[in-house]
A and B are shown apart, each in its own frame.
Chain A
Amino acid sequence: MPITPVDILKDETIPHNDGSLRVILYWCLYHDILTFPEVPASPTAYDAAITIEEDIVMKTGKKYQKREGTLEANGLDFNIVAERDGRSAENIHTLQHPGSNPKLQGFLEWHKNSSLVFIAQHIDGTMKLIGSPGLPASIDTGEGKGGLKVADSRHIKFTVKSVGRIAAIYKGDVPLTPAA
């Protein structure tokens, strides 16, 4: 059954509309996922077309990892790309971490070509999944800034990109403890 068109109006019962992301984000290796749910193949409503209600299930011993970023320096954007009749989407997730944390440098060195999945959380709590079954996310750009003057920011900043579908709203749980 196709989606029946409906009105899309502003919800003025919600007083907040904050940009940026919460500072704690989650990520895992794409191949550590045992069951990767998808958005419905035949959604009956617009919001269902980009929403995953089920849980991601990890392989035994695997789990999601936490990453903390700098407030107001993490973001998630999507773009509709490609030519008419061939439109697709890409998602760009930006993360910035203070200092020159060797763990983060090592993460970028080791996973710059890995298949990854990230979960970003908007300020209002909505979780978005960057990466989907068959379409993992990957590191797109990265830079470490040492700064020239003491007033300059010293940080590591990188972007993660996923393609094909607008990042889904994820309503499942995120296990930060190994699957048993």
Chain B
Amino acid sequence: MEESKASPHLAGKFKVVGVQPGEVVTRNEVVDLRTISLAKAEELFKRGFRYLERINPEVKTDKSSTTTK
């Protein structure tokens, strides 16, 4: 079976975690992680939606800020 893909609107901003991209019922609405808008993803993330993780490019590149104690 072909693996489903996350919404293109999430690219570089969020990744889907814990489930394959698809439908999740959350607070009386069905969201589809294959087509979700970035604004909706932001809204869900802010309220603690467990299936979206923010991609933070600053964490990946900021090695210079490491300090030795």
Chain A residues with CB under 8 Å of chain B are: 26, 55, 57, 63-64, 121, 125, 171, 173-180
Contacts and interface: CB of A to CB of B under 8 A. Distances in A.
B10 interface: no
A178 B28 contact: no
Size class of B's contact patch? 10 to 19
By secondary structure, the A interface counts as: loop
Interface of B: 4, 16-28, 30, 33, 49-51
Contact of A173 (B20, B21, B22, B49): B49
9 contacts: A171-B27, A173-B25, A173-B49, A176-B22, A176-B23, A177-B21, A177-B22, A178-B20, A180-B19
A177 B27 CA distance: 16
A34 to B, nearest CB: 11
Nearest to B34: A177
Contact of B19 (A26, A125, A171, A178): A178
